[in-house]
Structure 1
């Protein structure tokens, strides 16, 4: 960690001694690089549930990309998609929905276009692109398991956008644009990278800190009794407010500085190890 990162980490409040809820990121955290949940992680979720501790998924993914894992893991908790822009219960009922102001949508799309960064829109359960064959679209198609809607003009969706994603293989460019778009849309949107190749722009209150608070509210658990796990800049808002925050070993030093602890990587059972090492010892036999 850099000096500033060390200072930030050292300034954090001590971790909670009581955990009643786990809120977890998916890609780079719960999921392996192959987008799988390991047997050990599945067993660990079952142990949490048996102890009365619920597990909630929160992701930058579109709804369908979260839903498929939520169902596969037999979770009955609410979950948050698009960095919190959309929160649904286990039956698919929308509990919270936020959209970007149309002027913020236009300004973001203009900037992405100037820098030749592919732009995608996510509106509710719809994913809209201009070219289904370009850049990371085929990869995301495989990841989500759905095909995008192709449109030459994004205009008809401007008032319905829950998330804009800029995708590019130029990681340095996206890092610079994260700062530039954040400054341009200050007070109007949340801007953060969810992967080295994805830059997400969501409604002002749609970040993972909001998602963590909302999921906790729905389940009657205060933030100081929530443990969270993440690996990317878009996870920082929840790492900052959770009573127990854990960064993955594949997280950058800056992201890790916002967490109480750093576990192993998502290639080496980091999620399960984190739960076993820091969460389970903080679970009361009377949890839930």
Structure 2
């Protein structure tokens, strides 16, 4: 961890799952009130998540977000009316390399997100209920992912075997270097997106769109896909349950999501500025 800048914060970009949301994917009253306090203080607020755009709608409404949000780890920036500000698709060659590596591995479920849909070959996989609960809708069953290669937003390897995901992350990074981003958005999810589909690019794009210098931005998150925005923000805040490697890349660490760490961070580090 390093010392944060001391500029007033004018824009906060926050992760959702494991950060704003409790383990049951709900928002606590304290978190809702903290975000409302941001708006009242004139601080802009938006969301950056690995989720698809339509899996953010409930939280956008609850939090009163009226700015573009970043879906698919920053691969798609979406205006509140659903129109797209920016979209970055995974190159077909990188997608094919990824799907080939993941194919037929034990303990791994492979999902593809394309055209707003969650695609799966096996809709009865053990990880599907967890994802469906979080997204709020079921997968579309497909026999092959090949018809979607030209317009893939994200590929996910899902597994409770976290050691295997760590190993796959290293293997895939070597294969798609310079072509794709590979990161674990959560311990059980390995995400693969386009090179510019990262939360750091999303933060920079949104800050420019809003006319806010990067030194007056803050980033809040807990996953392996969040340091990309930590490195660009004037103030970066890691959640208390984040892996040590993630925490080391943030300026400060707040409480866990079960301790309402996001609200703590807003109250302690952002509103006082």
| TM-score strictly above 0.5 | yes
- Aligned match of 1:244: 235
Q: 3-state DSSP class of the match of 1:267?
A: helix
Contact 1:20 1:221 in 2 (8 A): yes
Query: Structure 1 stretch 116-125 or stretch 26-35: which is displaced more?
Result: 116-125
Cα distance in 1, alignment partners of residues 115 and 41 from structure 2 = 34
Distance between the aligned counterparts of 1:67 and 1:98, measured in 2? 20
The answer for unaligned runs of 5 or more in structure 1 is 1-8, 283-288
Runs of 5+ in structure 2 lacking a partner? none
Is the 2:36–2:63 Cα contact (8 Å) retained in structure 1? no
Deviation at 1:119, TM superposition (A): 1.0
Which residue is 1:113 aligned to?
Answer: 103
Q: Who is 1:285 aligned against?
A: none
Q: Please give the root-mean-square deviation of Cα atoms over the aligned residues, in Å.
A: 1.1
2:177 paired residue number: 186
**Matched ranges for 1:226-265 at <5 A:** 226-265=217-256
2:71 equivalent to 1:53:
no
Aligned twin of 1:34: 24
Looking at structure 2, the residues matched to 247 and 276 of structure 1 have their Cα atoms a distance apart, in angstroms, of 15
Is residue 213 from structure 1 mapped to residue 213 from structure 2 by the alignment? Answer: no
Please name the residue that 1:286 is paired with.
Answer: none
- Matched with 2:92 is 102
Shift of 1:114: 4.8
2:102 counterpart of 1:134: no
Equivalent residue, structure 2, for 1:80:
70
The structure 2 residue matched to 1:63, chosen from 53, 61, 72, is: 53
Mapped to 2, the partners of 1:86 and 1:124 lie a distance apart of 11
Question: Which portions of structure 1, spanning 4 or more consecutive aligned residues, are displaced by more than 3 angstroms?
Answer: none
Q: Give the number of aligned pairs.
A: 272
Cα pair 1:63 1:124 within 8 Å, conserved: no
Whole-angstrom distance in 1 between the partners of 2:221 and 2:4: 18
Contact 2:10 2:44 in 1 (8 A): yes
Post-superposition CA distance 1:51-73 (Å, at most 9, x none): 11111000011112222211222
Q: In the aligned structure 1, how far is the partner of 2:7 from the partner of 2:149?
A: 45
The secondary structure found in structure 2 opposite 1:233 is coil
For 1:221 and 1:233, the matched residues in 2 are separated by: 25
Structure-2 separation of matches of 1:48 and 1:268: 19
- Measured in 2, the distance between the counterparts of 1:162 and 1:277 equals 36
Q: Are the aligned partners of 1:84 and 1:206 in contact in 2 as well (CA < 8 Å)?
A: yes
Task: Look up the match of 1:4.
Answer: none
Q: Partners of 1:97 and 1:14 in 2: how far apart?
A: 30
Structure 1 distance, partners of 2:266, 2:3, is 20
Query: Structure 2 CA distance, aligned partners of 1:221 and 1:71?
Result: 24
Whether the 8 Å contact between 2:241 and 2:256 is mirrored in structure 1 is: yes
Residue-by-residue CA offset, 1:195-226 (whole Å, 9 max, x unaligned): 11100000011111011111112211121111
Q: Please give the TM-score of this superposition, normalised by the length of structure 2.
A: 0.97
Structure 2 match to 1:24:
14
TM-score by length of 1: 0.92
| 1:92 alignment partner in structure 2 | 82
**Secondary structure at the counterpart of residue 83 of structure 1:** helix
